[in-house]
Amino acid sequence: MAPKTLLLLPILTPLTFAWGSNQDLYIRDAVQDLDPYAVEAALRRRALIARQSQIVKAKRNAGRMVLSRQINARSPKAMPEPEPVAEADPEDHPFQQYDAGLFRRDGSVIPRDPYANPTAEAVTDPEAWFEGGELHAKRERILEAKRAVLREKRKRSFFAKKAELAKREAEAEAAANANPEAVAEAEAAVEAEVNVEKRETGSWFSWMKFCPLSRTLSTTPRRSYADVVDISSIPPTPIFHFSETESLMAESVSKFANEVIAPKVREMDEAEAMDPTIVEQLFEQGLMGIEIPEEYGGAGMNFTAAIVGIEELARVDPSVSVLCDVHNTLVNTAILKYGTEKSRKMWLPKLASQTVGSFCLSEPVSGSDAFALKTKAERTSNGYKISGSKMWITNSMEAGLFIVFANLDPSKGYKGITAFVVGKEAKGFSIAKKEKKLGIRASSTCVVNFDDVEIDGDQLLGKEGEGYKYAIGILNEGRIGIAAQMTGLALGTWENAAKYVWNDRKQFGQLVGEFQGMQHQLAQAYTEIAAARCLVYNAARKKEAGEDFVRDAAMAKLYASQVAGKVSGLAVEWMGGMGFVRDGIAEKMFRDSKIGAIYEGTSNIQLTTIAKLLQKEYTN
Amino acid sequence: MSAKLRILVPVKRVIDYAIKPRVNKAGTSVETAGVKHSMNPFDELSVEEAVRIRERKKASVDDILAFSAGPAKSADVLRTAMAMGADRSMLLEHDPEKEGGELEPLAVAKVLKAIVEKENRNLVILGKQSIDDDSSQTGQMLAGLLGWSQATQASKVEFDGESVNVVREVDGGVETVKANLPMVITTDLRLNEPRYASLPNIMKAKKKEMKKITLQELGVDATKRLKTVKVAEPAPRKGGGKVEDVDGLIGKLKELGAI
């Protein structure tokens, strides 16, 4: 990769310098017609320069500190020391590492690509976010006006700012020169960081992953203003305010689920198998490529739309919902976020139109302790060889594509974990055993074996040794999907029971739903469902807005699964005998709800994550 | 191949078919506030048929225009129509709350006539009736105003050169009528099975044009001619009885003096 990049550099270097370190925005706008690989190379070059200037900046910072210390010495009250940047302990458990901000050195998220930087998505496509409803037009106007002002401001203030910056930096540098000790300290710190990176991956270029390099180039001018549009003054909406597209989608999916899936739910549950025509229709409806951009054959919708779809499906059948959820939020997202352009082109069109995806992380020995996985990968002359066995693999019977996590270098521990894409037809791949389950029985869960499965080099997903990061990142999002499956389940079973007690079942001469004892229970349950849905949609919107959502996702999944368990249990009781028999969906929903506390992070893992993040916030 | 088809598909936003309608407290109309609305099911059939005419390629379709008259929320059903395959849409905003009730069938027919002329349409496919008012008049009135042929309650539509064969279900069998374009077709239940708007098509519909027009622009006088005197719920059904077998049924009928 690196030599090829370097070869391309001379072509664009003059251009790059011409732009200097000005915003990416201009570059992305200006180079839309150029070869994207060449542009990527140019951006890499820019990042290289940025890194070098980081050292210079560190010097200046040191200078500023000297200045501020001098000021403090004069003032009676000492100013607090600048907060140290949280550094993850590399020996920590991987989950802890992530929580400590592994991807967020110096406390900020550096966007890797538009899919990983949801702010861009959210704000750049206000239609997806803010359209619909009465406030839409108002928001649009505000946004448009803001953009116009920003454009104008940026034009006017660029030179003024530059001059001012130069002045300040000169001051800082002068101060730094007066205090060489602090400068040396800062330089050493930066150097150490670079060296750690070098040691870890063997390439000095590895630090590039912290720069916005692999970011896909913008195709719309609107997107390029994403980073700077301030949405804080836009009137906030209720959490459940859906955009026009989202509500149209909810309606369409709900109709599809009720008319096509509902008549088959019982049959599929009894047969413990997914009806292939349902899978086919999910593809036809575009439900298997919700977030996949249009250019790869998907619907190109936002994350919340996926959540809406998963929830609507779960209201009717949580088994179909989980098939759709794993495919969309785990498999598609993994390739979209971490795959190279080549692998995106190779896999996404298939995933959007015909091939079900499956996510193979768990093993007999590694569940909650995901990175204790034993599946191994070795390099071969033209690719890799995977051997091992995966367990609890959702969608495995239907899937044609498997994202497999295997350790390429066990001596590095979890840092050897690498993600691969394996096709069903690969030699040595086999499905060993289909589990017989308590709930979501129509969804397949199998043991999957990899007996020296040889794959090509381009079936590597992302980079070697980064699999653990991908897994954590994807599962954080995935939790919101599972939470939506659980709220959908709760809503579905509540509605089913409510219709029965308020329309059909009479005792003592009145509908059983008329009794206050029933009414209060129904009201309490619905309130809890609404609360869980608030958590779910809040987490989804936060994710879309590019905010930190790890705790929100964990809370949403924890609470949604608890509510689903409770409400589905109550629903059985409310319906009495009719809830207990295998004619309706009440008992099925009750069985289905159990999985919510188990997969994609057990309730205890969620609690641990939440507590850890809270403790961090409240520790002095 | 015949002339290019420029289809107009009028759609109406009505209370969802699965909702049990309730009369409002004042007894003046059906309660619409806070009730789920969707596209009139017969209109879904007509959108679907228009799209299928294009897909079957028997006739060449130039353009499918969806139109709706109603409150601002009617934009939703137009988006649905466009997600199902209509090329563009027009919305005539008419709030029944503010403007003294819904447009009457004749007013709607006049509006449609104006649209047909303005947009140069040569085929109108509309639902045989809307499930809220059940007037079943608009299509026929429109054909009359335009002086076009009409084929109502279609259960099959086939193009044959310049002419169109329409099969309709009548008492005791089916009837096939043949007419030349331009014409008005109203759709019946068994014409087709409307598709679900797929997600990629929902996204595409976002980019399709939705133009707003007013009664003034069309020069249509929508003065009310009808007065709703009273709206009341039907008397509640009295519970029936169950009988075990045929003998039981005969016994029961005799007991009631029916036979």
CB-facing half-sphere around the CA of A498: CA atoms within 13 A: 15
Q: Which two tokens stand for residue A385?
A: 């060889």
**Cβ-contact A195, A203 below 8 angstroms:** no
pLDDT, one tens digit per residue, over A388-399 is: 999 999 999 999
Identify the band that residue A67 occupies on the pLDDT scale cut at 50, 70 and 90: low
Looking at residue A233, what is its pLDDT?
A: 67
Distance CA A309, CA A315 (A): 10
Query: Could you say which DSSP state residue A317 is in?
Result: -
Residue among B38, B75, B202 minimizing CB distance to A249: B202
Looking at residue A174, what is its pLDDT?
A: 77
Distance CA A312, CA A489 (A): 9
> Does the beta carbon of A298 lie under 8 angstroms from any beta carbon of chain B?
yes
Looking at residue A232, what is its pLDDT?
A: 65
Specify the range with the lowest mean pLDDT, choosing from A87-91, A141-145, A486-490, B194-198.
Answer: A87-91
Looking at residue A103, what is its pLDDT?
A: 42
Task: Give the CA distances from residue A25 to residues A120, A219, A339, B207, in Å, rounded to whole numbers and listed in that order.
Answer: 12, 11, 23, 25
DSSP states along A62-113: HHHHHHHHHHHHHSSSPPPPPPPPP---TTS-HHHHHHTTTT-GGG-PPP-S
- What average pLDDT does the segment A185-209 reach? 50
Distance CA A466, CA A418 (A): 6
Task: Give the CA distances from residue A572 to residues A313, A439, A539, A561, A589, in Å, rounded to whole numbers and listed in that order.
Answer: 20, 15, 30, 17, 9
Q: Which residues does chain B have within 8 Å of residue A245's beta carbon, measured at their own beta carbons?
A: 202-203, 206
Q: Which residue has the higher pLDDT, A21 or A601?
A: A601
Neighbouring-strand partners of residue B63: B6
Looking at residue A31, what is its pLDDT?
A: 52
What residue in A sits closest to B193 (Cα-Cα)? A259
Looking at residue A45, what is its pLDDT?
A: 67
What residue in B sits closest to A353 (Cα-Cα)? B200
The distance of Cα A537 from the centroid of its chain, to the nearest Å, equals: 14
Q: Which residues does chain A have within 8 Å of residue B203's beta carbon, measured at their own beta carbons?
A: 245, 294, 299-301
B198–A300: do the CB atoms touch at under 8 Å? Answer: no
State yes or no: pLDDT of A137 exceeds 70: no
**Nearest C-alpha of chain B: how many angstroms from A292?**
10
> Does the beta carbon of A244 lie under 8 angstroms from any beta carbon of chain B?
yes
Q: Which residue has the higher pLDDT, A371 or B162?
A: A371
Looking at residue B59, what is its pLDDT?
A: 82
A248–B203: do the CB atoms touch at under 8 Å? Answer: no
Q: Using DSSP, state whether B137 is helix, strand or coil.
A: coil
Q: Is-catalytic flag, A600? A: yes
The distance of Cα B53 from the centroid of its chain, to the nearest Å, equals: 18
Q: How many helices (H) and strands (E) does chain B have?
A: 7, 11
> Does the beta carbon of A251 lie under 8 angstroms from any beta carbon of chain B?
yes
Single out the residue of B67, B56, B58, B57 nearest to residue B7, CA to CA. B67
Mean pLDDT, chain A, as a whole number? 79
pLDDT, one tens digit per residue, over A27-66 is: 454 455 555 566 666 666 667 676 777 777 777 777 677 6
Distance CA A193, CA A205 (A): 13
Identify the band that residue A592 occupies on the pLDDT scale cut at 50, 70 and 90: very high
Residue among A251, A299, A309 minimizing CB distance to B203: A299
pLDDT, one tens digit per residue, over A301-316 is: 999 999 999 999 999 9
End-to-end CA distance of chain B: 61
Distance CA A363, CA B33 (A): 53
Q: Which two tokens stand for residue A368?
A: 């909650």
B199–A248: do the CB atoms touch at under 8 Å? Answer: no
**Nearest C-alpha of chain B: how many angstroms from A257?**
10
What residue in A sits closest to B203 (Cα-Cα)? A299
Single out the residue of A226, A234, A218 nearest to residue A150, CA to CA. A226
Interface test with A, best of B196, B201, B207 (most A CBs within 10 A): B196
Residue written as token pair 């029971």: A497
Identify the band that residue A99 occupies on the pLDDT scale cut at 50, 70 and 90: very low
- What average pLDDT does the segment A460-465 reach? 94
Specify the range with the lowest mean pLDDT, choosing from A67-71, A420-424, A523-527, B215-219.
Answer: A67-71
Strands A460-461 and B183-187: unpaired
Distance CA B94, CA B222 (A): 11
Mean pLDDT, chain B, as a whole number? 91
- What average pLDDT does the segment A399-407 reach? 96
Query: What percentage of chain A carries pLDDT values higher than 70?
Result: 70
Which of A81-90, A196-205, A226-235 is the most confident on average? A226-235
Which of A150-164, A181-195, A480-494 is the most confident on average? A480-494
pLDDT, one tens digit per residue, over B41-80 is: 999 999 999 999 999 888 889 999 999 999 999 999 999 9
Q: Which residue has the higher pLDDT, A96 or A34?
A: A34
Single out the residue of A500, A480, A465, A502 nearest to residue A585, CA to CA. A500
Computed from CA positions of residues A395, A398, A402, A405, in that sequence, does the dihedral angle turn out positive or negative?
positive
Q: Which residues does chain B have within 8 Å of residue A290's beta carbon, measured at their own beta carbons?
A: 199
- Residues 6+ positions from A404 with CB-CB distance below 8 Å: A360, A375, A386, A390, A419, A420, A421, A422, A450
Query: Could you say which DSSP state residue A331 is in?
Result: I
Interface test with A, best of B203, B210, B237 (most A CBs within 10 A): B203
Looking at residue A120, what is its pLDDT?
A: 38
pLDDT, one tens digit per residue, over A327-350 is: 999 999 999 999 999 999 999 999
What residue in A sits closest to B84 (Cα-Cα)? A252
End-to-end CA distance of chain A: 44
Interface test with A, best of B199, B201, B206, B212 (most A CBs within 10 A): B199
Please name each of the domains of chain B with its CATH number.
5-256 (3.40.50.620)
State yes or no: pLDDT of A119 exceeds 60: no
Q: Which residues does chain B have within 8 Å of residue A298's beta carbon, measured at their own beta carbons?
A: 200
The packing angle between helices A303-316 and A244-256, to 10°, is: 30
**Cβ-contact A18, A45 below 8 angstroms:** no
The distance of Cα A262 from the centroid of its chain, to the nearest Å, equals: 30
Distance CA B93, CA B75 (A): 9
State yes or no: pLDDT of A7 exceeds 90: no
Q: Using DSSP, state whether A20 is helix, strand or coil.
A: coil
Q: Which residues does chain A have within 8 Å of residue B239's beta carbon, measured at their own beta carbons?
A: none
Residue written as token pair 């019946």: B188
> Does the beta carbon of A252 lie under 8 angstroms from any beta carbon of chain B?
yes
- What average pLDDT does the segment A87-107 reach? 40
The distance of Cα A28 from the centroid of its chain, to the nearest Å, equals: 24
The one catalytic residue in A40, A544, A587, A600 is A600
- Enumerate chain B positions whose Cβ falls within 8 A of a Cβ in A: 38, 75-76, 79-80, 83, 196-203, 205-206
pTM here? 0.71
Looking at residue B158, what is its pLDDT?
A: 93
Identify the band that residue A230 occupies on the pLDDT scale cut at 50, 70 and 90: low
Please name each of the domains of chain A with its CATH number.
3-148 (no CATH), 471-618 (1.20.140.10)
Looking at residue B39, what is its pLDDT?
A: 95
CB-facing half-sphere around the CA of A117: CA atoms within 13 A: 24
Identify the band that residue A90 occupies on the pLDDT scale cut at 50, 70 and 90: very low
Identify the band that residue B133 occupies on the pLDDT scale cut at 50, 70 and 90: confident
Q: Which residue has the higher pLDDT, A118 or B167?
A: B167
Looking at residue A354, what is its pLDDT?
A: 94
- What average pLDDT does the segment B210-221 reach? 92
What residue in B sits closest to A286 (Cα-Cα)? B199
Query: What percentage of chain B carries pLDDT values higher than 90?
Result: 68
